[in-house]
């Protein structure tokens, strides 16, 4: 039976296939550049759902940023360690994330949307906890409330999205100001992209 609650189990099965077939083309580069313009030159970043480390973790790593990668899949992290032997990686379920540090930016590109709707709602206090004041949050969703399954190497990967207004409310309730909200960005494969900034003063 296909996994819905713990999608990392499916990624463990397809990690080798994913590592060989996932495009390393930086379709999201414009958003990554936006983050660079908004954080300190010595900024500390957290890639949530970093997978194999390619391409997003590697993008910041190669530019000399301090970046930590988190993923729940042991097999995906095996590839990440192979790609970046001295990289900083932690095996953890994002829903249970509790790191002793805060970051200038959090990225959950094509990872957050694998969580069921109820788990997505619970992530925003976790995002807030791990961000410095004025820190940046980047994540992707679908354009509207929905559930979907996609075939990858013969395994079904679950995706979910809340309604647009739900995300806006959750961000506001947790002290975030929306900087950009691009619905179905054609340059990013139709992903809906959210870029927000944490402001402790507005909580």
> Containing domain of residue 124, as a range?
8-19+42-202
Domain-embedded: residue 29 = no
pLDDT at 203: 67
Domain-embedded: residue 27 = no
CATH number at residue 147: 3.40.50.150
Q: What is the pLDDT of residues 92-147, one digit of tens each?
A: 999 999 999 999 999 999 999 999 999 999 999 999 999 999 999 999 999 999 99
Confidence check: pLDDT of 3 > 90:
no
Q: What is the pLDDT of residues 44-78, one digit of tens each?
A: 999 999 999 999 999 999 999 999 999 999 999 99
Average pLDDT, the chain: 96
Domain-embedded: residue 37 = no
CA distance linking residue 149 with residue 4, whole number of Å:
9
Dihedral of CA atoms 179, 182, 183, 187 in degrees, nearest 10, equals -160
pLDDT at 169: 99
Domain-embedded: residue 146 = yes
CA distance linking residue 29 with residue 13, whole number of Å:
28
Q: Strands 66-71 and 88-91: what pairing?
A: parallel
Asked if residues 185 and 192 have their Cβ atoms less than 8 Å apart, the reply is yes
Domain-embedded: residue 35 = no
Confidence check: pLDDT of 1 > 60:
no
pLDDT at 24: 83
SS3 41: coil
pLDDT at 53: 97
pLDDT at 165: 99
Tell me which residue of 57, 68, 74, 129 sits closest to 97, measured CA to CA: 129
CA distance linking residue 119 with residue 10, whole number of Å:
18
CA distance linking residue 92 with residue 175, whole number of Å:
25
Domain-embedded: residue 54 = yes
Domain-embedded: residue 144 = yes
pLDDT band of 4, cuts 50, 70, 90: confident
Domain-embedded: residue 163 = yes
Asked if residues 22 and 52 have their Cβ atoms less than 8 Å apart, the reply is yes
For residue 53, how far is the Cα from the chain centroid? 12
Checking phi first, is residue 153 left (phi over 0); if not, alpha (psi -120 to 50) or beta?
A: left
Number of domains in the chain: 1
């Amino acid at each position: 039976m296909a996994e819905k609650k713990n999608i990392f189990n499916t990624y463990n099965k397809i990690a080798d296939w994913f590592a060989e077939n996932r495009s390393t083309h930086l379709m999201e580069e414009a958003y990554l550049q936006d983050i660079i313009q908004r954080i300190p030159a010595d900024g500390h970043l957290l890639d949530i759902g970093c997978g194999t480390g390619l391409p997003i973790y590697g993008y910041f790593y190669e530019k000399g940023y301090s970046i930590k990668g988190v993923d729940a899949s042991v097999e995906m992290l095996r590839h990440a360690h192979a790609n970046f032997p001295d990289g900083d990686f932690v095996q953890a379920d994002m829903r249970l994330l509790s790191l002793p540090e805060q970051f200038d930016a959090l990225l959950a590109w094509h990872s957050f949307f694998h969580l069921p709707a109820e788990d997505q709602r619970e992530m925003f206090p976790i995002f807030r906890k791990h961000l410095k004041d004025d820190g940046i949050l980047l994540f992707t969703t679908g354009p509207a409330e929905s559930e979907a399954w996609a075939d990858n190497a013969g395994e079904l990967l679950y995706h979910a999205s809340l309604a647009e207004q739900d995300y806006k409310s959750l961000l506001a309730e947790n002290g975030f100001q929306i900087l950009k909200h691009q619905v179905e960005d054609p340059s990013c494969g139709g992903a809906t992209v959210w870029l927000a900034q944490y402001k402790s003063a507005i909580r």
